[in-house]
Structure 1
Amino acid sequence: MQRKYFLYIIAGLCVVQTACKRTLETEPQDRLTEELVFDEIDKNADNAKAFLLGTYALLPSISNRIGNTLLDATTDDGMASIDGDRSNDYRLGRISPLNVLDNAWDNSYKGIRQANMFLSKIDRVPTTDELKKQWKAEARFLRAFFYFELMKRWGGVPLVGDKVFGFRENINLSRNSLEETKNYIVAELDAVKDDLQPNIMADGEVGRANKGAALALKARVLLYWASPLYNEGNTPQWWTDAANAAKDVMDLGVYTLATAYTDLFITGKSTEMIFAKMQAPSQTLEQQNGPVGYLNAAAGRGLTSPSQNLVDAFPMNNGLPITDPLSGYDAANPYTGRDPRLDATILYNGKKWLNRPVETFEGGRDKPGGIVTQTKTGYYLRKFMGKFESTAAYANTTRHMIHFRYAETLLSYAEALNEAEGPVQAVYDNLVLIRKRAGIKAGANNLYGLPEGVTDKAVMRKIIQNERRIEMAFEEQRFWDIRRWKIAGEVMNQPVEGMKIDKLADGTFTYTRFNAAASVFDAARMYWYPIPYAEIETNPNMRQNEGWDY
């Protein structure tokens, strides 16, 4: 952590510039100092508030930010459509200290410094003690969030406490241990949870940290901590702690699953959304990932190709896996009668989009062949997009980056409780809630396709892991889940599969699975990121992660 990122004040400080209240322009408007941001005569604390909101701007956004695709398209759930896309460096094991694609190191420490600066300066601003207490809690929540972004990538990282380092200071901090990093995050969240805003906030406050967000982040941290990557000795109490943390979110009694799964991702506020980064309405995601065969204003670039592996993970609408002889799966009509979440996640051949069926058969309008970038798997992304089945073009859509939602809480509770106590009734109850909302049929036993009487936690573990995969697809969960479960060495050394579709003269189709891309995962070192070379080079006390010393 060198001074290269220690003079940043805020992303988007132009907001603050327009809010300055001084009568005389004693400072040039292009030189925004700490004294102007934390101004003793700014009676409404407008500048300080803008500074805090600017720290929120550093949170991860929903976007094609890894090469030209989403993070989870570097897993077995998909791949980039562009030949030679940089995201393939993950798939082929080509990351190194000089090539850390998802490098959140600079951004996270930038956010930590901004939070620390805010905490060190806010008391000079003439606003109420109550508001200061809330804002301080928000800053500490954000700081904890940024530390978790570091922890899940690199393990233990340097903890700077409340220190705001000066521009000229030589900062050669050593890494704290993984446990120290985890403990710091959890302690911070425990300290601030009751000072944050209520869980269901006014429309103008949506996107600000609240008590539910603090509890949800704690639950995720402890779920990771209990998982095999972190919990090498499989300490049962860690799973109990994770279950209790998720239950704390549930016991707030303010969150429920949204009625419609698709609508959840294109609305500004819902009973399921615990914490999200606000993003301006746009059609960028549709333009980046929509099918390529629409040649009018609605044209998409098709940059993300979901995998056949993911499509196979969705059960039938009776809740049974497609491999179950009783499921009713028909290989000649592979998308008929499936879990409704498949329709909400994937654009497949024949699905209606922009007033016509998607054509991903060979030579179809959305898979024309040649040099045009197009799906490499026979599928396009549907999730997060607006309802454009019956429109002629895309329109701006409200689409926030949901960092925590209630479905994850239910799944995390089920997972941790199963590991701690086995497949008890509460595990079933939470999975039933998820499947019922999805639109899966209840069945005669009201278990929504779940097998009755499971007593083996390993069997239930597979069910929970698959449910999490399909429910949270492309929400930046799968990438981390296969690592914390320590199954990446298994799933990421298998090829990404696609579906080759041929249209026959009579208008019917044939479906043939094929290997769309090879994958390589070196389990000896790739569960943790390499520390960026610049940090190792400039800090003699920085220790590299195992296996990345070259």
Structure 2
Amino acid sequence: MYMKHLFPYILGGAMLVSAAGCNKLDQAPYGSAIVEDQYYTTLDQCNTSTMVAYRYINYSTWWEILNWRYLAGEAASDNGWVGNTYQPHPTYDAAAHFTLDAGNDRNEAQWIDLYKSIGRFNSTIAGITDAPIPEANKKQFIAELKFLRAWCYFDLIRNWGPVPLVLEIYPPNTHLPRSSVQDVYNQIDKDLNECIAVLPKKGAYPAADRFRASRGAALTLLAKASLYMENWPKAESLSKLVIDEGDYNLEQQFSTLWQYTYKNGIESIFEIQNGSSQVPALPFNQFQVVLNSPGDAGWGYYSVSSDLENAYKSEGDSIRLQWTINRHGLPVAGDPNAPSFDGRPWPASSSSKSARFSRKHYTPKAERPANGLSSLNDKILRFADVLLIHAEACAMQQKSGEALGSLKKVRDRVNLLTDMNLTGWNLINAVRKERRLEMAYEGDRLYDIRRWKDQNGKPVISGIMGPQGSFVLYNTTISTDPFETKNTTELQNKGTSFRENTHMLWPIPASQILLSEGAMQQNPGYF
């Protein structure tokens, strides 16, 4: 019999799969078990179980987890704010303003649900391993599951550093210590290399299956992980493989990516399927509601900072500006029917910290379903990211020509000139700026500024956040933005509490340390 529980600080993790249909997954309590002789007996069952697992890359409870992608990745950076000021949300403010402690419930929910997902992937791998199905199918299904597991570990390690490495099913009351960062990355490397050897290219899948993990997705995720480990040669070679294999390309227009109907196109390497005809679709894209303006039927969370808008303007980047940020009183890109307020175009709200919200998560009014539920997909990996990984890896090795070649491709699409004479730190900083402009509100900004180091070897975030950080000083001494400076329900000095010796990682949730019975210790600076 397969696992009934993982171990206490992971709180379960098996999934119930019924031969009667996949809908039972949503009704099953955590900790339910799969009985070996009742399932994984046919190719169809193994395929269905693998496809169902994709639902859990989005994790088990969207409110607990996917919002962390924008709360931590964007609102805790110079790109955004918590935004919503008409509701109290002290745990959200604590994360975005670097005042959270080990009892923070959003931080805890992210940890728990990631391990729930890993438990599901592990239990499915165990079931398929012994299934009486063709070996080629078995290898592919297991590789897909290992890709999903690698993504979860990548998310875990960039949030908390050393974490327990759970690769099998354990008996109840098993307590594992935190594995080193290197050991976790070694496992990510091992899993993804197995995926690279087995998975087909995206183009080899039938159209209806192009949501599934591909060779290119595994190469891209491993290249991205290599950046975090500062293994520049590896990040360069892996990203170059993706570029050269020709399975992906940039869309001709940046705007195409953010069309409501865009799903799994030529630039998409891996994306979460929301309410589409593909299996397994989630019911709808929750963040079309969460990230939209309260003046337009949204909840108003994770609004965009004027600092990010200024970054586009300083570069003369009008294309990405309008397709990344919806701005109060201005037309919405691609939506001539956008709601208006007092005769003006699209509205923010007086209960918003900022007058700006994500265009990348917006559904045009004419395309909104009657029930208000959007099927816009969430883009996790895309080809522009690969080009910027390659540019960064080359720039860090002083390979200026190669770096500029990839950087230019990204900038050409939005009609920006590239100084082809850039070298050294001028080139490195140009690539980093480009990454901010291209990838804003896709969940990476905080992790980028944490991992990057400046010319003195200090984390870049330390020059942005903290009492003398550029973002803090801009907001407290320079900005005259009428929304941000007047709505101080969310404090204008966001980031002033940042401390480098603490906030390069989040705290291990206090509940999980307690349940581990001494197997885990807290990250420095947290109590």
**TM-score normalised according to structure 1 size:** 0.77
Deviations 1:485-506 (A, max 9, x none): 122222123337466459xxxx
- Map 1:141-152 to 2 at 5 A: 141-152=147-158
Q: Aligned partner of 1:274: which letter?
A: I
Structure 1 range deviating more: 490-499 or 147-156: 490-499
Task: Check the 8 A contact 2:285/2:377 in 1, yes or no.
Answer: no
Select 2:445's aligned residue among 448, 454, 478. 478
Residue 188 of structure 1 corresponds to 191
- Map 1:69-468 to 2 at 5 A: 71-83=73-85, 84-85=88-89, 86-99=91-104, 101-103=106-108, 104-161=110-167, 163-166=168-171, 168=172, 170-200=173-203, 201-226=205-230, 238-265=231-258, 266=260, 267-280=262-275, 282=284, 284-294=286-296, 299-315=297-313, 321=314, 338-353=317-332, 355=336, 366=347, 369=350, 373=351, 375-388=352-365, 397-422=374-399, 424-438=400-414, 440=415, 448-455=416-423, 457-468=424-435
Over aligned residue pairs, what C-alpha RMSD do you find?
3.6
Distance verdict in 2 for CA 1:490–1:484, change over 3 Å: same
Distance verdict in 2 for CA 1:458–1:88, change over 3 Å: same
Separation (CA, whole Å) in 2 of partners of 1:388 and 1:416 = 41
Instruction: Tell me the secondary structure at the aligned position of residue 320 of structure 2.
Output: helix
Give the C-alpha shift of residue 50 in structure 1. 3.2
Deviations 1:136-189 (A, max 9, x none): 11122222222212111122222234x3112x3x31222221111111211221
Task: Check the 8 A contact 2:19/2:39 in 1, yes or no.
Answer: no
Residue 489 of structure 1 corresponds to 462
Task: Check the 8 A contact 2:275/2:285 in 1, yes or no.
Answer: no
Task: Check the 8 A contact 1:156/1:175 in 2, yes or no.
Answer: yes
Separation (CA, whole Å) in 2 of partners of 1:466 and 1:3 = 43
Structure 2 unmatched runs, 5+: 1-5, 277-283, 453-458
Give the C-alpha shift of residue 471 in structure 1. 0.6
Instruction: Tell me the secondary structure at the aligned position of residue 45 of structure 1.
Output: helix
- Map 1:26-65 to 2 at 5 A: 33-35=33-35, 39=39, 42-46=41-45, 48-60=46-58, 65=67
Q: Aligned partner of 1:307: which letter?
A: S
Give the C-alpha shift of residue 205 in structure 1. 1.0
Deviations 1:340-383 (A, max 9, x none): 0101011124422465788799x9983564xxx3x322323222
Separation (CA, whole Å) in 2 of partners of 1:57 and 1:67 = 16
Q: Aligned partner of 1:222: which letter?
A: S
Task: Check the 8 A contact 1:141/1:209 in 2, yes or no.
Answer: yes
Instruction: Tell me the secondary structure at the aligned position of residue 421 of structure 1.
Output: coil
Separation (CA, whole Å) in 2 of partners of 1:492 and 1:120 = 45
Give the C-alpha shift of residue 397 in structure 1. 4.2
Give the C-alpha shift of residue 212 in structure 1. 0.7
Deviations 1:110-138 (A, max 9, x none): 23222222222224433222111111111
Identity %: 23
Give the C-alpha shift of residue 255 in structure 1. 0.7
Task: Check the 8 A contact 2:10/2:512 in 1, yes or no.
Answer: no
Distance verdict in 2 for CA 1:461–1:32, change over 3 Å: closer
Structure with the higher fraction of residues in strand conformation? 1
Distance verdict in 2 for CA 1:304–1:123, change over 3 Å: closer
Task: Check the 8 A contact 1:388/1:394 in 2, yes or no.
Answer: no
Task: Check the 8 A contact 2:76/2:97 in 1, yes or no.
Answer: no
Instruction: Tell me the secondary structure at the aligned position of residue 101 of structure 1.
Output: helix
Task: Check the 8 A contact 2:78/2:307 in 1, yes or no.
Answer: yes
Structure with the higher fraction of residues in helix conformation? 2
Structure 1 unmatched runs, 5+: 21-27, 227-237, 316-320, 328-337, 441-447, 503-510
Structure showing greater Rg: 1
Deviations 1:31-76 (A, max 9, x none): 9752268636x43432x33332333222137877249967412211
Distance verdict in 2 for CA 1:187–1:532, change over 3 Å: same
Residue 233 of structure 1 corresponds to none
Separation (CA, whole Å) in 2 of partners of 1:360 and 1:526 = 40
Give the C-alpha shift of residue 523 in structure 1. 0.8
The question of 1:527 aligning with 2:504 is answered: yes
**TM-score normalised according to structure 2 size:** 0.80
Deviations 1:225-249 (A, max 9, x none): 10xxxxxxxxxxx222221121122
Separation (CA, whole Å) in 2 of partners of 1:72 and 1:30 = 30
